[in-house]
A and B are shown apart, each in its own frame.
Chain A
Amino acid sequence: NAGVMQNPRHLVRRRGQEARLRCSPMKGHSHVYWYRQLPEEGLKFMVYLQKENIIDESGMPKERFSAEFPKEGPSILRIQQVVRGDSAAYFCASAAGTASMNTEAFFGQGTRLTVV
């Protein structure tokens, strides 16, 4: 059973370009979370999705950022018109349920976005 797969591992974009980050959850997992981590800081929640639904996007910037988790295929975090401040590591986690259901969230290896 493969773990949470994120690609690309490293992504370089020029200011103004679009960044698309992909996350394939573990098999059987229908809950996906995206987090952002700035250097030397903890992870900050961005968005929580279930298949075809955004459940909680309270951590997402209001502009330029969007996320989806289609019925088929990976979850996508999309950043339009990237700026230098978007440079960070973006982590995806997946779970079969919620922590109250005694399920554990597993993290991917992350995508390191660098905006030049």
Chain B
Amino acid sequence: GESVGLHLPTLSVQEGDNSIINCAYSNSASDYFIWYKQESGKGPQFIIDIRSNMDKRQGQRVTVLLNKTVKHLSLQIAATQPGDSAVYFCAEPDRVSNFGNEKLTFGTGTRLTIIP
């Protein structure tokens, strides 16, 4: 089965508020995670990534937190804007593969709606 999964399928947040999107994973050996944003009718867009030697990484208005103890990561978006409305996926590369490639396993996704 999939290693990554999300707690909530939908999330509505008032514009200007902060949002938190959660993701759980099951493989304790997972060492790299990526968050993608997918707007309607478009392909996934890289937001931010984190490696297991870190527990926090910050970008522009986004922060990813990694809790290896409970195998959980979250994406925090500060001061949300209408353009943040999208589906957000966490993903991890398949390290088990013998092919040396980095095919991604995606979670189901959380649909974030920003309320004006």
Which A residues fall within an 8 A CB radius of B? 4, 31, 33, 35, 40-45, 48, 55-56, 58-59, 91, 93, 95, 98-100, 104-110
Contact = CB atoms under 8 A, between A and B. Distances in A.
14 contacts: A4-B43, A33-B104, A42-B108, A42-B109, A45-B94, A55-B101, A56-B97, A91-B43, A93-B43, A95-B102, A98-B101, A100-B102, A104-B46, A109-B42
A110 B43 contact: yes
A44 B45 CA distance: 16
Interface residues of B, number: 24
A95 B34 CA distance: 15
A109 B108 contact: no
Contact of B44 (A44, A48, A107): A107
B101 A105 contact: no
Interface of B: 32, 34, 36, 41-46, 89, 93-94, 97, 99-109
A6 B71 CA distance: 35
Contacts, number: 64
Contacts of A48: 99, 101, 103
**In terms of DSSP, what is the predominant structure of the interface of chain B?**
loop
Nearest to A112: B41
A107 B45 contact: yes
Contacts of B105: 45
A97 to B, nearest CB: 9
Nearest to B94: A45
A44 B106 contact: yes
A36 B112 CA distance: 22
Given A48-B101, A55-B101, A56-B97, A43 B42 contact: no
Nearest to B5: A42
A60 B110 CA distance: 26
A4 B103 CA distance: 17
Given A48-B103, A91-B43, A104-B46, 5 more contacts: A42-B109, A43-B104, A56-B99, A98-B100, A107-B44
Nearest to B100: A98
B97 A98 contact: no
